[in-house]
Each structure stands twice: as C-alpha cells, then as structure tokens.
Amino acid sequence: MSESTVATMEAEKVYKTCESELSYFAKLEKQNGDKTGILVFMPKSGKWKALEVPATYKIRELTEAETVEFSQLSVKKARKPLSVKKARKPRVPKDPNAPKKERVPKAVGITSGLKMLAAWGLHISINIDKVGGRTQTINDMLVDFPAKAESINRWVDAYLTYFNTGRIAGYPRLEKSKFWVLSNDEKAALVTRRAENKLKKTAVPPAEVPAA
C-alpha cells in the first residue's frame, strides 16, 4: 500500500501508522496547522488514545485483511460487558439500648494472685530443682486454681516446655533446658503410667462370640 501523511487523512476513515515497526490503527481527530491530532487504537485496552504528531507523520490505507481485523476488534470492544460495581449493603445502626457483652475476667490464683500462665512460671521456677518438684508444682497449682484440676494434671509437662523456651513472661529462654527431678514415688508412677499406655496400645480386641 502507498504511504501518505496525516495531512491527507479523511475524517472517520481508519488508517495504519507506518513510522516504525509497531503499526497502529489510527484516524483523524483534528488538523491544526503544522501539527495534526490523531486517535490511535490501543488493542489491549480497546480504547482510542489521542496523539499530536507532525503533519509529515506517515500513515497508509488499510489492506483487506487489516480491514477485517479492525472490524473484529471493534465488535469485541462493543460486546465487552460493562463492569458493574456491587452495591454496598447499608450498615445496620447499633442499638444504643442493646445490652453490652459482659467481659469474663480471667481466673486469678487464690494464693499467687497471678493469672494462670504467670502462676505456672512462678511455681515451676520454685520447684524445678527440687526432688519431687513435678508433684509439688501440681499441688501448688491445685491450691491456686482448684477448679482447673484436670488441665493442671494434663498439661504440667507442656508448661515446663513453655518455661524452658521463654514463652512465659518474666522467664527468659534457658540456654540449657531443665527437667523434673523425680522422686522415687514419681518414678514408680511414671513406670506404671508407661506400662498402662503400652498395654492400651497393644491390647488384643475381644474375640467374637460364635453364633449359636
């Protein structure tokens, strides 16, 4: 196709730019002396971009294939659905007369006056180096929190890990972890507990009763 300049462009007619390897569909916006306003079609956005170029800016007419291509792009643009903003649900005003939620205060130790985690830190620090310190820690916690007997007995060793790793405020992480100094009674109870756990794991299911 023969080249020409934007100075020869006709209104509403689509051309192709040919000033560089990148070629765009373009049409005339307005002639303005030495400068010409053109609209360049941006394929990604599907919008026309206004540019001002010299009157000597090169363009050319479309080939048949380019005419078909442009018509398809125009159809796709026309069919593109408009984005619809979702309407926000109106906020329900707060009822000033609604009853306020009562904050449930956390349990505080009877003897220590501390919250439970801090109390664990206190009693472990006092008893950790004593023979039988594990049992003594449990007993001290039971006096402090009598309503928490089940969790105290269940989690005593877990809170020792908290103590060793610095997860209780006021007790920094220990370079070398400490362990319970078990009394003879505690050792015997531990052996019995391990045997019971082993028995549970290896227990033989009851034999099925044969049908009469």
> Residue-wise pLDDT tens for the chain (212 aa)?
678 888 888 888 998 888 777 888 899 998 887 888 899 888 888 888 998 888 888 988 888 888 888 888 866 655 555 556 677 778 878 777 877 777 767 789 999 999 999 999 999 999 999 999 999 999 999 999 999 999 999 999 999 999 999 999 999 999 999 999 989 998 888 867 767 666 665 554 444 444 44
- CB pairs under 8 A, 24+ apart, for 178-183? 178/128, 178/129, 180/128, 180/133, 180/134, 181/128, 181/129, 181/130, 181/131, 181/132, 181/133, 182/131, 182/132, 182/134, 183/131, 183/132, 183/135
pLDDT, residue 76, reads 60
- Was domain 3-76 assigned CATH 1.20.140? no
Q: Where in the chain is the domain with CATH 2.30.30?
A: 3-76
- Write out the two tokens for 19: 């000033």
